[in-house]
Structure 1
Amino acid sequence: MIFPSGSFSSSGSSGSAGPAGPSGASWTERVLVRDGVRLSCRDWGGSGPDALLLHGLAGHSGEWDGLARLLRDAGHRVVALDQRGHGAGERHPADVSRAAYVADVVAVVEELGLVRPLLVGQSLGGHTALLTAAAHPGLPRALVLVEAGPGGAEPGLPEQIGGWLRAWPVPFPSREAAVSYLGNGKRAVGEGWADGLEERDGGLWPRFEPDVMERSLDELTRRDFWAEWAAVDCPALVVLGEEGIISGDEYAEMARIQPRLHGVSLPGVGHDVHLERPEVLGGLILELPH
């Protein structure tokens, strides 16, 4: 379902070759260090317009592989970031404030020479993209929020999420066991999450620490971010799953504040829209003006 506007119905870098995808597409790892914190990117290459993809909490840059190939093959320069505390990035950063996540995005844009990139973020990555657009209005050409919004203060959220992460039956004995558990009946979701695991000590383990994930959510327990949403001055697209976490009321308020907002809700889809429907998400992004 498509909703019309206003409604809801650096220290340096290094590179190494990444694996080839099913279509033969490959990416290159780019490593940056900002304030002593390692940041790793999957650089898919391609020619502009530029796009920077930001995963959600406890996620990893590989979640975007399907979308990255699609956008790159359509002519975009695409980079997906492993954010601090996640994936191939620094596992134990001292600072996991919202401002630190935003500063990392700015550093990646500057270090890799991205020009007014499209910022695409899912969940907490979408929140980071939103805050980046608000704090640096000249940086993005457009904003795509996938299952993300300004939200409200959510006391107890870190403990709730941390409890879920600590309940994972790790190490997973096999990839299939991980896909089954993490997908909860949705194969594409399970595959995406399983791709973020690392093999060690006879099993498959997450590439994040639950306590770091909890601290990353700390500011969301204390306040909302509607003022930042009001400060966004670039075109914005919100893509929601019908079974996701963003309510109709939250979207309606987002559209009231930003009348140019365009929203899409995908039926039968949950929070991991980018894993369940990468081709649909890619089509919507490619319709945005360059």
Structure 2
Amino acid sequence: MDEHAIALVHRHHRTPDGTTIAYSALGGRGPDVLLLHGLAGSGREMLESARALGGRRAIVVDQRGHGRSTRVPTDTSREAFVADVVGVLERESSGPSDLVGQSMGGHTAMLVAAARPDLVRRLVLLEVDEGSGSEADREAMAAYFRSWPVPFADETAARAALGDGALERAWVADLECRADGLHPRFDADVMAAVAAGVARPRWEEWGRVSAPTLVVYADGGMFTPATKDRFVAAGRDVTRVDLAGASHDAHLDATDAWLAVLRDFLDAP
């Protein structure tokens, strides 16, 4: 079976607070794998990882405030993000699933595994810690997003403004086409609010995660050696892998190495 030929089915989940969560399901065998992108990303950037999982059934979610989901949700708390994922899993999965997440998405996955261990078979965290980031960092990030000369006339203009790195290419590929040009699929103020929630340390929740967990770090990522060591040591059943020549967005710029460790872990007996 050619996993690249399997069509995506696009679906939506309506939450009790009125938020629409968009997600895509890729047919295949179980157990299911649910993949979560990072801050200011979307499910689109996780599709290559989903398709590389040897025919596994995959669910790729646009988390609230991102992608095709509600752009400006009323609730940006970590608890709301967790409830969204639980809602999708309960709707789509027939048994415990594997959760895979990068950065903010990994933080969400970690909290889901802590809150609902019955739904999680294995957990994969790419460039994640218990919660970090200063207010100054969040404001700088929001200011950067506000500085984008939106709308972009076309993708060429977007690349000229944003750059041509792996992350920037993912942003450009995900731009929304409107009558006046191309727009990002996220709001800068919402991103700052979400980042504030991710910054709150969640040691208690991390200590409750019982699922076998793979923690993947990049040598060019955002965490110090001490932060990485401390986080891994506080887990209960953790395997750690460090990727060379990779950034915080290793799924985009060290894709082959990332997919190799992801497949090895998820396919282990």
Same fold (TM over 0.5): yes
Show the counterpart of 1:163: 143
Show the counterpart of 1:200: 178
Show the counterpart of 2:69: 89
Maintained 8 Å contact 1:151/1:250: no
Show the counterpart of 2:158: 178
Q: 1:180 to 1:146 in 2, by over 3 A?
A: farther
Following superposition, the deviation at residue 141 of structure 1 comes to 0.9
Corresponding letter in the other structure for 2:67: G
Following superposition, the deviation at residue 22 of structure 1 comes to 11
- For residues 115-158 of structure 1, what are the alpha-carbon distances to aligned partners after superposition, in whole Å with 9 as ceiling and x for unaligned? 21111111111110111111112221111111111134633343
The 10-residue stretch of structure 1 (146-155 or 128-137) with the greater mean CA deviation from structure 2: 146-155
Following superposition, the deviation at residue 109 of structure 1 comes to 0.1
Which of 206, 224, 241 lines up with 2:201 in the alignment?
224
**Percent of aligned pairs sharing the same letter:** 38
Aligned length: 265
Corresponding letter in the other structure for 1:175: E
Corresponding letter in the other structure for 1:194: V
Corresponding letter in the other structure for 2:114: A
Alignment of 1:6-17 (within 5 A): none
The SS at the match of 2:177 is: strand
Following superposition, the deviation at residue 69 of structure 1 comes to 1.0
Following superposition, the deviation at residue 237 of structure 1 comes to 0.9
Which of 247, 269, 274 lines up with 2:251 in the alignment?
274
Which of 54, 75, 80 lines up with 2:36 in the alignment?
54
Distance of 1:262 and 1:58 partners within structure 2: 27
The SS at the match of 2:39 is: coil
Show the counterpart of 2:93: 113
* Structure 1 runs (4+) greater than 6 angstroms displaced: none
Following superposition, the deviation at residue 170 of structure 1 comes to 1.9
The SS at the match of 2:156 is: helix
Show the counterpart of 1:26: 7
Higher helix share: 2
Maintained 8 Å contact 2:19/2:73: yes
Q: 1:22 to 1:106 in 2, by over 3 A?
A: closer
Question: Structure 1: 5+ residue runs without aligned partners?
Answer: 1-20
Indicate the structure whose relative CO is greater, using CA pairs within 8 Å and at least 6 residues apart: 1
- For residues 208-247 of structure 1, what are the alpha-carbon distances to aligned partners after superposition, in whole Å with 9 as ceiling and x for unaligned? 11111111122345x3111211111111111222111122
Following superposition, the deviation at residue 195 of structure 1 comes to 1.9
The SS at the match of 1:190 is: helix
Show the counterpart of 1:16: none
Question: Superposition RMSD on alpha carbons, in Å?
Answer: 2.0
Maintained 8 Å contact 1:67/1:279: no
Following superposition, the deviation at residue 86 of structure 1 comes to 0.9
Corresponding letter in the other structure for 1:215: A
Q: 1:54 to 1:114 in 2, by over 3 A?
A: farther
Instruction: Give me the TM-score of the superposition, normalised by structure 1.
Output: 0.85
Maintained 8 Å contact 1:130/1:143: yes
The 10-residue stretch of structure 1 (40-49 or 150-159) with the greater mean CA deviation from structure 2: 150-159
Question: Structure 2: 5+ residue runs without aligned partners?
Answer: none
Distance of 1:54 and 1:90 partners within structure 2: 16
Instruction: Give me the TM-score of the superposition, normalised by structure 2.
Output: 0.91
Maintained 8 Å contact 2:126/2:215: yes
Show the counterpart of 2:23: 41
